Amino acid sequence: PPSGRRCCALRSSRANVSAARASSRQEGDGPTQAGPVGRRQAMELAATLAWVAGARAPLAEAVERPVEVGSYLDAAAGLPGFFEFVPGGQETPAIRAGTIGKYKFAMPGTWIRRTVANILSGNYCQPRCDEPWTEVLFQGPKGTKGGSLQVIVSPLNKLSRSSLAPGESIDKVGTMDGIIFSLGPNITGNTIEEEEVASKEAKKIDGVTYYWYELDTPYAKTGQRQVASIAAKDNAVFVMAVSATSKQWQENQDDLRKIVQSFRI
């Protein structure tokens, strides 16, 4: 769980700092009891702290790009005003580790990329994470044309005891109801009740089955309306979810559906 990974990271950092302090005491440059720290001890401690921070920095959050995606992504074929996102080979911890392959989706050109917190990115557990992690986040413009987007990946073993054979899809993992009730809390931050599933549809595209959902979730932490596409491949289950307030949904629901329905693995 995220809290466990956070604790491990903190313990690791503290252990490095403690080791530096112990090493400096052994050098004999200063007293071992609390008191003034010698110049050598201070330098060693500073170096160790810098190493701890530097070692974690390259694997920290993906750099946020507070510019509209229309300025740097390629236009999406067949979707005027939409631009296609395909992660690079070093884009996320899971892709770097070879845990998952690439995916793609399209969104309006006015959306921007947001930072995924290191603790949520799977950075600490790849390539063998036991819990779902967040791949990417994007945010729409403020106001009724906005919304938010997240791609979440869950290890297949959270839902199934066996790996998928080539050509098998999400329908081999579970039913539409079973999948959304299991993974819904990762989308909304709350449990999903049966009456909150406004619609659902299974769609087969290029040999891959996608479960499409629309949710009306008044108690969700992400917004009352959710649209999601869930698919599975190899040892991973992919969740593309778009969230919006009621006003954003009323004004922008067609575009929000297009985002989710463009998702491919």
Give the C-alpha separation, 52 to 166, whole Å: 42
> Residue 143's pLDDT band (boundaries 50, 70, 90)?
confident
pLDDT digits (tens, 9 = 90+) for 4-44: 443 444 344 444 434 443 443 334 444 334 444 454 454 44
The pLDDT tens digits for 70-85 are: 999 999 999 999 999 9
- As a whole number of angstroms, the distance between CA 104 and CA 121 comes to 18
Q: What is the pTM of this model?
A: 0.75
Task: State the pLDDT at residue 163.
Answer: 86
